[in-house]
A and B are shown apart, each in its own frame.
Chain A
C-alpha cells in the first residue's frame, strides 16, 4: 500500500525496490523487528497477490480441449514480484492452432527455494498433460529424463526444440514442428488465443505479470569470437569460429531484419496482442534494449494517446557500454514514454565483469572504462532521475566466476563494485552449455564435468548448463563457499564474496575449508541470538 510519502513495510517495499529484493520476504516478530527470510535470488514462493483475476485457464470448460493435441511446456521461476511467462512458447502454440492443431502452453512455475515442492509441481504437470489426453509434449529440453520416461509410459511422444538431450525425443525446429504433429490436425475451429496458456504447479496460482517483449530482435553486440585471442585454439570448433556475441550466449542470432519503422509497428502489434493473451501483465522485459531505442521512439511518437501503453512498464536489460554511449537518447526516450503513460525502467545492467582478462573470456567487448562511465551515469540518474525513467532498484549483474578466473580478477571486480557503490550487485558464475564458444573452450581445457545443472529454470535457457571446474583451486574454493553461503546472506553479495575471499586467502589449504561447517556455525549464531 502506497501511502503517499509513507511506504508501508513490507508490502510496498517490494514494489519500491522491486527486483532488488527478489528472494526476500519480510515479516515481523512480536517486537516489531524486521526479519529477512532468505531464499536464492532467482526466486522464492510467496503468497499470490490477492484480488487479481487469474487467466482463463484451469477452466472446467477448457479441460480436455486438447484431446489428441499438443502440450508445450515452459518452465520458469516465480519471484515475489512477478510470474514471468514464456512468450516464445505461446507463439509456437498459436502457430500450431493456426495450422489446425489443438495446443496449449503449460507454464510450470518453479520455486527457487524448495526442490521437493518443485518435484510436486512437475507431478502436477504430468497429471494435467495426461488428463488432457495430449498426443505430443514439446519442450525446449526435456526437463529430466524421469519426466520424459513418465510421459512416454503414458503413450505421449516428445519433441525437443532447443537442444537434443533425451534420446527418444524428436529434435525439431519451429518450422518443422507442424509436420511432426500433423496427426493432431482437427477440423474443429480453433480460437488462436483462447486458453492459450495454463499455469500449472503451484497450489496458489498467480497470473503471469511479466513477459518478454519479443519482436524477433537479436542482441546488438556482434563481437566475433574469431577475433578474440583467448579462443584462438578452439576455432576449429564450428560454434566457436562462427559465433558472434558473448561467448556464453545461447541466444546469439543473426542481425534482426527490418527498418526502425517496421520494428516499431511490430512492437505496437506485439504489445497489443500480448496484453490480450496475458491480461495481468504489467511489465514487458526488453532484452537487448539497445536494439529497441530507435523503434520505441517511433512507436511512442506515432501512437501517443493509444491505451495500449497505459499502465505498463518496459523493463530494460541494458549493456553498460551502450548506456555510456547513449545516455541522452535514453533520457529522451523515457520522456516520450512518459508522454504515452508508460515507464521505462532500467531493470538489469549487465556489467558482468570489470577485469580485462575475464572480459576476454566472456567476449563482452566492453572496456572497463565504459563500465565505469555507465556506473557514474546510473548513479547520476539515481540522484536526479529523468522524467519517465525508473532507475531505483535496478540490478547490476555480474559474472565473476569463470573457469579461468584468478584471485586478482575477483579483487579487481570487488574494488570497482565498491568504488561505484554497487553493494547490491547480483553475482553469478559463468553458466555455460553445449553450443557456445565458452563451453567448447572449457571442454578443450578439461574444465567441464558432464553433469547437468538444474538448479533453476530461466527463460534464457539455463537448462542446458553444465558443471564447470576452475583452473585456480583458490577460486574453486571461493566459488564453493560463495554458492554455499549466499542463501544465508541477504542481498549483500559483494560483501559476502569479500568475506569468503578473505577466508580462502587466509587458509593454508583452501580446499579443506568446510563451508557446511561454516553454515552450521552461522545457524548456531542464530540459535544463540534467539535463545531466551
Chain B
C-alpha cells in the first residue's frame, strides 16, 4: 500500500535541540481536505511539526477516512494523548496508527532534549491513555539515536520495550551519531535485525 505524507502545521509544543524545523513556527492556516482521488485507497501519514496541536485534527482524520484513505497515521510527540477525550475523538474519527517519538533514555535526558520539563511524563501518560482507550490502534515508537543525550540505539530500543511498544521505527541520522562509533553501530544494527527484542518489529533506515 502506498502512503501519502502530509505536513499539517508548523507549530510544536517541544523545543527540541537540533530540530531543523524549529525556526518554522507559523500561524496555522485553515484546513482544507485533499481531493478524494489523492487519498483513496492509500495510507496517509500526518506529521510535522506536531499535528496534535491542530484544533481541527479530528475533522481532518475523519475527512481523510471518508475520502477513502485506508489508514491514517499520526506522527506525534504523544503529549496530547494524555487527554482522554482527545484520544477518543481521534479513534472515533478513524485514526489507525500513532507513531510516537521517544527523545531520550530517561526522564532527565528526555526533558533536556525537548527543553520542556515534564514532557517525558506527559508522553508516558499519553501512551498509557492510548493503550487503555484505543487498544486496536497501532502504536509505533519512533527512535532517533543521538550521541549527545546518551540515547544510543540499544538504549532507545530498550526504552521502547519498557514502555510496551511492539513496533519501532528507527531513523539513523549521521549528524546526530558518534562518528567514531559507526562500525560498532553497524554491528548493533545487524544484531538487532537478526535478533529483535521478543515480539518487537523493528524497521531501521538511514536518512
**Interface of A with B (CB < 8 Å)?**
1, 3-10, 12-13, 16-17, 20, 28-36, 378-379, 382-385, 392-393, 418, 421-424, 481, 485, 488-493, 495-496, 498-500, 502-503, 506, 518, 521-522, 524-531
Given contacts A3-B38, A34-B207, A503-B180, 18 further A-B contacts (CB under 8 A): A4-B32, A5-B8, A8-B4, A9-B5, A9-B6, A12-B7, A13-B7, A28-B2, A34-B5, A36-B207, A382-B23, A489-B174, A499-B175, A524-B182, A529-B170, A529-B172, A529-B189, A531-B193
- 1/0 contact trace for B167-202 toward A, CB 8 Å? 001101111111110110111011001000000000
Q: Across the interface, which residues of A come within 8 angstroms of B32, CB to CB?
A: 3-6
Q: Across the interface, which residues of B come within 8 angstroms of A31, CB to CB?
A: 3, 203
**Of the residues B10, B24, B31, B38, contact of A8 by C-beta under 8 Å:** B38
CA distance A383 to B10 in the complex (A): 10
**Of the residues B5, B18, B23, contact of A495 by C-beta under 8 Å:** B18
Q: Tell whether, in the assembled complex, residue B203 and residue A492 are in contact, meaning their CB atoms are under 8 Å apart.
A: no
B82 to chain A, nearest CB (A): 25
- Residue of A with least CB distance to B10: A392
Q: Across the interface, which residues of B come within 8 angstroms of A28, CB to CB?
A: 2-3, 5
**Interface of B with A (CB < 8 Å)?**
1-10, 15, 17-20, 22-35, 38, 43, 45, 54, 56, 60, 147-148, 169-170, 172-180, 182-183, 185-187, 189-190, 193, 203-207
Q: Across the interface, which residues of A come within 8 angstroms of B186, CB to CB?
A: 521, 524-525, 527-528
Q: Tell whether, in the assembled complex, residue B189 and residue A6 are in contact, meaning their CB atoms are under 8 Å apart.
A: no
**Of the residues A5, A489, A500, contact of B28 by C-beta under 8 Å:** A5
CA distance A392 to B175 in the complex (A): 23
Q: Tell whether, in the assembled complex, residue B33 and residue A6 are in contact, meaning their CB atoms are under 8 Å apart.
A: yes
Q: Tell whether, in the assembled complex, residue A495 and residue B176 are in contact, meaning their CB atoms are under 8 Å apart.
A: yes
30 A-B pairs with CB atoms under 8 Å apart are A4-B31, A5-B31, A5-B32, A6-B31, A6-B60, A7-B6, A8-B6, A29-B205, A30-B2, A382-B24, A421-B23, A423-B19, A485-B179, A489-B173, A489-B174, A492-B18, A493-B175, A495-B18, A495-B176, A496-B174, A499-B175, A506-B180, A518-B180, A522-B182, A527-B186, A528-B189, A528-B193, A529-B193, A529-B205, A531-B193
Q: Across the interface, which residues of A come within 8 angstroms of B148, CB to CB?
A: 498
Q: Across the interface, which residues of A come within 8 angstroms of B18, CB to CB?
A: 423, 492, 495
Q: Across the interface, which residues of A come within 8 angstroms of B24, CB to CB?
A: 17, 382, 392-393
Q: Across the interface, which residues of B come within 8 angstroms of A6, CB to CB?
A: 6-8, 31-34, 60
Q: Tell whether, in the assembled complex, residue A418 and residue B17 are in contact, meaning their CB atoms are under 8 Å apart.
A: yes
CA distance A234 to B37 in the complex (A): 67
B115 to chain A, nearest CB (A): 10
Q: Tell whether, in the assembled complex, residue A522 and residue B19 are in contact, meaning their CB atoms are under 8 Å apart.
A: no
CA distance A9 to B6 in the complex (A): 5
B151 to chain A, nearest CB (A): 14
- Residue of B with least CB distance to A492: B175
**Of the residues A423, A502, A531, contact of B190 by C-beta under 8 Å:** A531
CA distance A423 to B34 in the complex (A): 31
CA distance A136 to B26 in the complex (A): 52
- Residue of A with least CB distance to B188: A528
**Of the residues A8, A35, A530, contact of B207 by C-beta under 8 Å:** A35
A494 to chain B, nearest CB (A): 8
